[in-house]
Structure 1
Amino acid sequence: MKGNAAYTVIQRRMYGNENFYRTFIDYVNGFGHPQGDYWAGLNLIYHLTSTGNNVLTVQMQDWSGNSKNARYSYFRLIDNVHFVLNIGGFYSTDVADDLSFDNGYAFATYDKPDVSHCASNQKGGWWYNYCTYALPNGVYYPGGPYTPSSGFYDGIYWKDWLGYGYSLKFISLTLSNQ
């Protein structure tokens, strides 16, 4: 805890031992373990972001140990049915904004698909604006560079850092209230 801000990890990928290709209800309720690969749940994220000013921090690491951080001064889920993403106020000194592209889109999974069926093709639930620039919930491919088995880039990526064809070793999304 820093000052009066409370921090909550809402997503983390670090071991590859949790499958993120899951149903919508799994994403609503959450899964994994808070000390490992983890999704807090859309219901909890909605509750945490329903009041106040919520800051989202994204921390990423590649397989060579290089790290990048992105921060959004405004993060909220608009409703608790479609869980529409409302994000803004990007700030970073070392990585481009790949998450605001999905602003205004509902959360999608293979059993609650988006228009382009990106959740099925990219094997993870997310806010998809035509298959997204950032995919924290994709397939965990060890080693970094990968060739997608399905013909779609489905790894854990931040497009403007290492591209679609590089799966990150670590990524976490953390909320703080300010």
Structure 2
Amino acid sequence: MKPVYFLSVVLWCMLTVCVAKHSEQWPAQKHLNKGDMFQYKDCKSVGKAGYNESGVYMVWYNSTTPYKVVCQHTSDGFYTVIQQRVNGLENFNRPWDDYVRGFGHTQGDFWAGLNQIYYLTNTGQTHLTVHMQDFPGNIRQINYLNFKVEGPQQWYRLSISNAYGDVPDDLGYNNGCFFYTYDRPDPYGCAHQMTAGWWYNYCTYALPNGQYYHYGPYTPTTGMYNGIFWKDWLGFGYSLKYISLVLSHP
């Protein structure tokens, strides 16, 4: 994706979050294609139909089951946002059920939900792009050509590979790992000590769901680094100002 896309997304999030009403369950927010009875399958089909505004849209798992997604429509293509950290207003140290169904506000901090991520990656949206920004305003991006999540019986096990971008691949360490939370913990206690749900190995080199610390460098509140870090960019001890994970078709 082009840098202008990333900057426009950051500005959209930071400007709108100032006036957005905080919500615990982001799927309760209104969708932009309300009243349209066509059963769109994803953000790409929504965009191809002429909807060019970024925001929440209703799409369909099948002919009887609708759900809501966050679409980013740009000159580069159509993207589905599955995770975003903007301001630290949302608590990400949450139980398993919250991570399964999703939480937060789509114009601020939010998590789309493991069920939604599972469905999206198993219906063709297997290209992951991670956008990052530090507090001075430096921007980085990394792409993964293969990103897929298994279903609930497999604890939403992660498959991720084929990285390229301008930061080292810190998520490859999580390939093949199950998702864990403090109430469905990993063997090493990472979810508890790092105060976030994630695909933990032992433990992780990147933590997009970590605790939001303002100003970058931080002292962890637990026995492990628990900020929003990308180890091989700014280190464990630097918590990012902004990060988002978006999916697209190859």
% identity of equivalent residues: 57
Per-residue displacement from partner, 1:129-166 (whole Å, max 9, x unpaired)?
Answer: 10100000010000000011212100000000000000
Runs of 4+ displaced beyond 6 Å: none
- Structure 1 residue 4: deviation in Å? 9.5
Alignment of 1:43-54 (within 5 A): 43-52=115-124, 54=126
The verdict on how the C-alpha distance between 1:4 and 1:141 changes in structure 2, with shifts beyond 3 A counting, is closer
Change (3 A) 1:25 1:63: same
1:91 to 164, 173, 180: 164
**Inter-CA distance 4–166: structure 2 relative to 1 (3 Å threshold):** closer
The letter of the residue matching 2:90 is E
Match of 1:7 in 2: 79
Q: Is the 8 A contact 2:125 2:247 kept in 1?
A: no
TM-score, length-scaled by structure 1: 0.96
Counterpart position of 1:126: 198
| 1:16 paired residue number | 88
Equivalent position of 2:112 in the other structure: 40
Q: Deviations for 1:98-136, whole angstroms, at most 9, x for unmatched residues? A: 001000000000001111110000000000010100000
In structure 2, C-alpha distance between the alignment counterparts of 1:17 and 1:53, rounded to whole Å: 28
**Equivalent position amino acid for 1:157 in 2:** F
Cα RMSD of the aligned pairs, angstroms, is: 1.4
In the alignment, structure 2 segments of 5+ residues that lack a partner are: 1-72
Shift in CA distance, 65/2, structure 1 to aligned 2, threshold 3 Å: closer
Q: Does the Cα contact within 8 Å between 2:115 and 2:151 map onto a contact in 1?
A: no
Partners of 1:24 and 1:36 in 2: CA distance: 21
Q: Offset of 1:78 from its aligned partner?
A: 1.8
* Paired AA for residue 88 in structure 1: S
Does structure 2 conserve the Cα–Cα contact (< 8 Å) formed by 1:5 and 1:177? no
**Which consecutive residues of structure 1, in runs of 5 or more, have no partner in the other structure?**
none
* 1:76-87 equivalences in 2 (<5 Å): 76-81=148-153, 82-87=155-160
TM-score under structure 2 length normalisation: 0.69
Q: Are 1:138 and 2:210 an aligned pair?
A: yes
Q: 1:12 to 1:53 in 2, by over 3 A?
A: closer
- Contact kept, 8 Å, 2:157 with 2:177, in 1: the verdict is yes
Q: Which has the larger Rg?
A: 2
Question: Using the alignment, how far apart are the partners of 2:125 and 2:136 within structure 1?
Answer: 34
- Letter of the 1:68 counterpart: R
1:154 aligns with 2:243: no
Match of 1:62 in 2: 134
**Letter matched to residue 40 of structure 1:** A
- Mapped to 2, the partners of 1:69 and 1:5 lie a distance apart of 16
Deviation per residue, 1:38-78 (Å, 9 max, x gap): 00000000010113251000000001100100100011102
Pick from 77, 86, 102: which aligns with 2:174?
Answer: 102
SS in 2 for 1:157: coil
